[in-house]
Structures are given as structure tokens and as C-alpha cells.
Amino acid sequence: MHGVDHMTVMKRIQAEHFNFALVGAGVGVVKGLSELRTRWQSVLIKFWPLLLVILGVLLMRYTE
């Protein structure tokens, strides 16, 4: 990457990728936990699709 503000752009890209990884890991963990029989199962079943929507919004807003 070359340019006047390449360090600033790279930091923003790294922050976006970190957010993708964080939400993606959250989707995996919450989806896995939603399949276990616990008292939180009904909440987790409704929560992991919300995380997928958030991931989709982050991906739509992604710029380089």
C-alpha cells in the first residue's frame, strides 16, 4: 500500500478486519451455545441471527 496517508488507511482496515473476526467468532460461539440445553437457550437462539445481521452490515460498509 502506497500513498500519503497509507498508515491511517491500514489502521482503519485492520480495525475493520478485527471487527469482522470479533463478530464472526461471536456468531460461532453463540450458535454453538444455542444448541445446548440451558436456561439461556431461548435467548441465544434469537441472538445469533442478530449477530449475523450485524456482520452483514459491517461487510456492506467495508471500504479499502
Tens digits of per-residue pLDDT, 15-54? 999 999 999 999 999 999 999 999 999 999 999 999 999 9
**pTM score, two decimals?**
0.83
Q: Which residues contact 19 (CB under 8 A, 6 or more apart)?
A: 58
Domain ranges (residues) in the chain: 26-64
8 A C-beta contact, residue 26 and residue 51: yes
The CA-based angle 23-7-57, given to 5 degrees, is: 25
- Residue 44 to residue 16: CA distance in whole angstroms: 25
Residue 15 identity (one-letter amino acid): A
- Residue 45 to residue 43: CA distance in whole angstroms: 5
Tens digits of per-residue pLDDT, 14-24? 999 999 999 99
